A and B are shown apart, each in its own frame.
Chain A
Amino acid sequence: MAEGQSEKSQSSERTVPPPVPTGPAFSYFALDEEAKAHGLFQLLDEDGTFDPANTTRFDKTLSTDLYRGMLWTRLMDKQFMALQRQGTIGFYAETLGQEAASIGSAAALEPQDWLVPALREHGAGLYRGMKFESFVAQLFGNADDVTQGRQMPLHPSDPATRYVNMSSCIATQIPHAVGIAMGIQAIGDGSEVCMGFMGDGATSEGEFHVSMNFAGVRKCPVVMVCQNNQWAISTPGAGQTASETIAVKGLGYGIESLRADGNDILAVYEVSRYAVDKARRGDGPTFIELLTYRVSAHTSSDDPSRYRDESVTEVWRNQRDPLVRMRLFLEKNGWMNEAEHEAMVAQIEMTVRETADRQRNVDMPLLRSIIEDVFETTWWRLEEQLDALEETLSK
């Protein structure tokens, strides 16, 4: 059994929905548009301090699920980055430091909802039920990979959980999220919502603005989430935009725009939940900026020590770790002790290791797959090209 988050509790197991919080932090949602876009919503501070009136939604089940989702992401990233360094897989990108932003936002979705990912949402896909075996097969690009090894690692595709396949281009996925939401509006039954992700760099691209404009005009059920990790490879936030916050960019398009502490998974969940519920009610799009930090390199091909002060990174790594903060919350509530945590770590590490060991031994895709899926059926030129290659290989 190698399903990524197979132990995640199903919300349907709950008989009584947890109470919607009314604590003081929630006055944020009553602020005017400008104040929301300039503010920073937070429920759990760096020391794990919280006001119980703000966290009524987070019972043991949900809290443990959220923590496990982040832990899973961090531990698998560590192992896969090691495999990349050994040359076993071709490429990898960690979510290190951004696990709360990735998992907490997607956790607010229901199973029928759509997720249009950017680069660091694979953990969110697994949290929502993407098969881990299938995800790992894609990293190896082998014959078990449903996408037949056609893209670099970290480009999974999973229609079953409505996890849309991405390209490596920046911001091109944002209009797709809006288009899915327009589709929901046109022929859906009103139960679905689409959440689209991007990084801070993507907000400089034309397609971001085009998409925000479409979403504002059409008032479609889309939640656009920007993980502001403050770095687009080597370009810092100040080199990317003169805007005071990323969130305010949404206001010009008539879109309600929220801003939250992206390393506080409770805050991330609540702003996302607010936006998802609003979209599902038919009250239109929301833009969310999650302020976080890319503690890792951009990808396995990057070396941040060449362009940034890593002492700042250390502050985020050591003092603002989203996992540490959530673990303190669990411990303070008496929901997870040291032994339980160790068992969770051991179970995840073993599953990742065993799955990777299995998948690294699977054959490459068949040669013929190179010409399949260009179109629904091949055409004469493709067959001719494959024939010529096979003839060469047979000599």
Chain B
Amino acid sequence: MPTMNIIQAVNNALRIQMAAEPKSIILGEDVGKFGGVFRATSGLYDEFGEERVIDTPLAEAGIIGAAIGMAVYGMRPIPEIQFSDFIFPAFDQIVNELAKFRYRSGGQYPCPVVIRTPVGGGIRGGHYHSQSPEALFIHTPGLKVVIPSNPYDAKGMLLASLRQDDPVLFMEPKKIYRASRGEVPEEDYTVELGKAKVVREGNQVTLIAYGAMVSVIEEAAAKAAEIGISCEVIDLRTLMPFDIETITESVSKNGRAVMVHEAPQTCGFGAEVCTSLYERCMAHLEAPIQRVCGFDTPFPYSLEHEYLPNADRVLGAIRKTLEW
């Protein structure tokens, strides 16, 4: 089985989809001849042509607005927003149009648009190449939100997103685009949306994260194991709709939990996860659930490593739940 990084896995999924489905079309800034600033669409312009891999003018509202029109027409567009920091000119199109089209038309106009966009910090990108705006979109009914943490899931969940009829915001953790490598089958497969994954089993503290933070909690779990603390590691994978059963089961078992994400803490997705767990696991909890998140500040440039959650901060939170 070949080894791929996340970029290669995404590229491979796109190639499979474009070959299998003539109604799929890729559009975005620099996605054609250049193959995207991160190379996610590399080679697809040559293989599928200028009519199906479209270099658009520089206007995010136009990219998403045109993709919506294409979906209304019956196509399965795959727009790329170059960085999720630049998604906001298209916010109105995503929130008021894409997310509501099925609902407001009584199901007559589903809008199967899959928006791919790199997300997150850790690449020395400062305010405008580092943000994690997922909560803004999870808070918009009608959008599915997916953030894979590894190449296998990236390919399988992208293909799954492309083969269902709801709009999906597919956020790709850019810090680990190339750093995360693993075995990925060449063939076509899907990984079901809405299912979390228990990455590591443990019986004292449940650690929950998604995207680039999954490797951080894995590292924290390894460090904890060295001092005799057993942690269960859960990768949420799909944030909307999220898998309540897997996390409820784990937290009910362990009675202690730490929620980690790099987006700002206040009103971050962790707040929703924690509240949902309190609603279901109150009788089993031994300590308040801890959150390790980005600061409630704009994303800083020089101090980005201090801003981002790391294994030591997670370990501190693990200790807190045990010492409470």
Q: Does A245 contact B (CB under 8 A)?
A: no
B244 at the interface (CB under 8 A from A): yes
Alpha-carbon separation in the docked complex, A155 to B109 (Å): 13
Q: In A169-216, which residues have CB < 8 Å from any B CB?
A: 169, 172, 174-188, 194, 206-207, 210-211, 213-214
| Chain A count of residues within 8 A CB distance of the other chain | 48
Q: Which one of A11-19, A284-292, A375-383 is at the B interface?
A: A375-383
Q: Is the CB of B109 within 8 A of A182?
A: no
Q: Which of B57, B70, B144, B241 contacts A182 (CB 8 A)?
A: B70
**Complex CA–CA separation, A374 to B23 (angstroms):** 23
Other-chain residue from A155, A178, A188, A375 in contact with B69 (beta carbon distance below 8 A): A178
Flag whether A302 is at the interface (Cβ < 8 A).
no
Given the interface contacts A157-B106, A175-B62, does A185 sit within 8 Å of B51 by beta carbon?
Answer: yes
Query: Which residues of the partner chain B approach A184 to less than 8 Å between Cβ atoms?
Result: 73
Using an 8 Å CB-CB cutoff, how does the interface string of A141-155 with B read, 1 for contact, 0 for none? 000011110110001
Inter-chain contact B108/A165, CB cutoff 8 Å: yes
Contacts of A119 in B (CB 8 A): none
Q: Is the CB of B70 within 8 A of A172?
A: no
Assess A186 versus B52: contact at CB under 8 Å? Given A159-B108, A176-B69, A180-B73: yes
| Contact between chains at B66 and A175 (CB < 8 Å) | yes
Cβ distance B84 to chain A, nearest Cβ, rounded Å: 19
Known interface pairs A174-B65, A183-B75; A148-B70 also in contact (CB < 8 Å):
no
Selecting from B89-97, B128-136, B174-182, B206-214, the interface stretch reads B89-97
Q: B165 near A179 (CB under 8 angstroms)?
A: no
Q: Is the CB of B68 within 8 A of A381?
A: no
- Min CB distance, A153 to chain B, in Å? 13
A38 to chain B, nearest CB (A): 27
A374–B102 CB distance below 8 A? yes
CB <8 Å contact, A172 and B92: yes
A210 in contact with B62 (CB, 8 Å): yes
Q: Are B244 and A380 in contact (CB under 8 A)?
A: yes
- Taking a contact as CB atoms under 8 Å apart, the answer to whether A178 and B66 are in contact is yes
For the complex, is A59 an interface residue (Cβ under 8 Å from B)?
no
Contact A207 B61 (CB under 8 A): yes
Q: How far is the CB of A262 from chain B (nearest CB, A)?
A: 25
A145 touches which of B65, B70, B106, B194 (Cβ 8 Å): B106
Q: Is B59 an interface residue (CB 8 A)?
A: yes
The 8 Å CB contact of B104, one of A150, A172, A218, A381, is A150
- A113 to chain B minimum Cβ distance, whole angstroms, is 12
Known contacts A167-B97, A179-B67, A376-B166, A147 near B105 by CB under 8 Å: yes
B106 and A213 within 8 A (CB): no
Contact partner of B68 among A179, A194, A217, A376, CB < 8 A?
A179
Residues on A with beta carbons closer than 8 Å to the beta carbon of B166? 375-376
A157 touches B108 (CB 8 A): yes
> Closest residue of chain A to B65, judged by CB?
A175
Q: How far is the CB of A332 from chain B (nearest CB, A)?
A: 42
Say whether B106 contacts A373, CB under 8 Å: yes
Does A101 belong to the interface (CB within 8 Å)?
no
Contact of A92 with B by CB under 8 A: no
Chain B CB within 8 A of A114 CB: yes
CA distance A185 to B49 in the complex (A): 14
Chain A residues, Cβ within 8 Å of B72: 164, 176, 179-180, 183
B residues less than 8 Å from A150 (CB atoms): 103-104, 106
Residues of B within 8 A of A187 (CB): 22-23, 74-75
Interface string of A285-306 (1 = CB under 8 A from B): 0000000000000000000000
A18 to chain B, nearest CB (A): 31
Answer whether residue B268 sits at the interface, using C-beta atoms and an 8 A cutoff: no
Let me know if A372 is at the binding interface, CB within 8 A.
yes
CA distance A5 to B54 in the complex (A): 41
Give the interface size class of chain B.
35 or more
Q: Are B62 and A213 in contact (CB under 8 A)?
A: yes
Q: Which residues in window 74-123 of B have CB below 8 A to A?
A: 74-75, 77, 89, 92-93, 96-97, 100-110
Q: What residues on A are CB-neighbors of B165 within 8 Å?
A: 376
Which of A114, A147, A167, A206 meets B73, CB within 8 Å?
A114
Contact A186 B75 (CB under 8 A): yes
Q: A237-253 interface mask toward B, CB cutoff 8 Å, 1 = contact, 0 = none?
A: 00000000000000000
Interchain CB contact under 8 A, A206 and B61: yes
A375 to B142, CA, bound (A): 6
- Say whether A169 contacts B96, CB under 8 Å: yes
**B142 — nearest CB in chain A belongs to which residue?**
A374
* Cβ-defined contact, B106 with A146, below 8 A: yes
Complex Cα spacing A181 to B73, Å: 8
Q: With A165-B109, A213-B62 given, is the CB distance from A179 to B56 under 8 Å?
A: no
| Given A172-B92, A214-B56, A214-B62: A373 touches B69 (CB 8 Å cut-off) | no
B106 A147 Cβ-Cβ under 8 A: yes
> In the complex, what distance in Å separates the CA atom of A381 from the CA atom of B275?
13
Query: Known: A157-B109, A172-B97. Is A374-B103 also a contact (CB below 8 A)?
Result: yes
Q: Does B316 contact A (CB under 8 A)?
A: no
Bound-state Cα–Cα, A183 to B65, Å:
12
B141 at the A/B interface (Cβ < 8 Å)? yes
Bound Cα distance from A207 to B96, whole angstroms: 13
Assuming the contacts A179-B70, A375-B142, A376-B166, asked whether A155 and B65 have C-beta atoms less than 8 A apart, the reply is no
Does B203 interact with chain A (Cβ within 8 Å)?
A: no
Is there a chain A Cβ closer than 8 Å to B164's Cβ? yes
Distance in Å: Cβ of A355 to nearest Cβ of chain B: 19
Give which listed residue, B74, B93, B107, contacts A183 with CB less than 8 A: B74
Residues of A within 8 A of B107 (CB): 372-373
Residue in A closest to B167 when the chains form the complex, CB atoms: A375
Per-residue 0/1 for B36-60: is the Cβ within 8 Å of any A Cβ (1 yes, 0 no)? 0000000000000001101011010
Q: Within the assembled complex, what's the spacing in Å between the Cα atoms of A211 and B61?
A: 9
Chain B residues, Cβ within 8 Å of A165: 101, 104-105, 108-109
B97 near A176 (CB under 8 angstroms)? yes
Given contacts A210-B59, A374-B141, 8 further A-B contacts (CB under 8 A): A165-B109, A169-B92, A175-B65, A179-B72, A187-B22, A207-B61, A213-B57, A375-B241
A-B complex: 8 closest residue pairs judged by Cβ atoms: A179-B69, A175-B65, A183-B73, A179-B66, A379-B241, A147-B106, A176-B69, A210-B62
28 contacts across the A-B interface (CB closer than 8 A) = A145-B106, A165-B101, A167-B100, A167-B104, A169-B97, A172-B65, A172-B92, A172-B97, A174-B65, A175-B62, A176-B69, A178-B69, A179-B67, A179-B70, A179-B71, A180-B70, A180-B72, A186-B51, A186-B75, A207-B62, A207-B93, A210-B57, A214-B56, A374-B103, A374-B141, A375-B102, A376-B102, A376-B165
